[in-house]
Amino acid sequence: MVRAGKLSLDDLKTQLRDADLRATAPRLAVLRCLHEADTPVSHAELADKLAPEGWDRATVYRNLNDLTDAGLARKRDLGDHVWRFELLRASDTHGDAHPHFVCDECGEVSCLPEGSVEIKTTRNTPVRLKERVHEIQLKGRCERCN
């Protein structure tokens, strides 16, 4: 079982092979970065971060998609027209993920605790909305920009 904070190289390799992916060096680097990140990461950010280690943008790009296809990560647009990738973590209980917040002003992304946003049922709310919602995104001003 892979746990946050204490990931050996072997843990990462195991995680990849369990997902039927080869444990190549650039793929391990991408997976490691996703584990280290505490918010979703864009391809551009990750490609820039891994360029010094010698990994190609296209390789990073394909690996992000591979991890997503394999079900290890999710690819999302948090409402600012940027694709971001985030590891699926055990802390996201039902398979439903925690809400995200993006600052209109500075673009900062933050992860909110599960349950901090509630779907209310009012007279004209569509039927069973709550059960149908799998993802919640908020936009506004962050504490710093407010």
Which of 5, 10, 58, 90 binds DNA (CB under 7 A)? It is: 58
Q: Based on CB atoms, which residue is closest to its own copies, 53 or 135? A: 135
Residues 107, 68: contact at Cβ < 8 Å?
no
Residues 34, 67: contact at Cβ < 8 Å?
yes
145 counts as binding Zn ion under rule CB under 5 A: yes
9 counts as binding DNA under rule CB under 7 A: no
21 counts as binding DNA under rule CB under 7 A: yes
Q: Are strands 73-77 and 41-42 parallel, antiparallel or unpaired?
A: unpaired
3-class SS of residue 127: coil
Least separation in angstroms between CB 53 and its own copies: 28
Residues 63, 30: contact at Cβ < 8 Å?
yes
144 counts as binding its own copies under rule CB under 8 A: no
Residues 100, 138: contact at Cβ < 8 Å?
yes
> Rounded to whole angstroms, how far apart are CA atoms 40 and 123?
35
Q: Can you give the binding site for DNA, defined by CB under 7 A?
A: 13, 16-17, 21-27, 42-44, 54-59, 61-63, 66, 82-83
Q: Can you give the binding site for its own copies, defined by CB under 8 A?
A: 76-81, 83, 101, 104, 110, 112-113, 115-122, 124-129, 132-143, 146
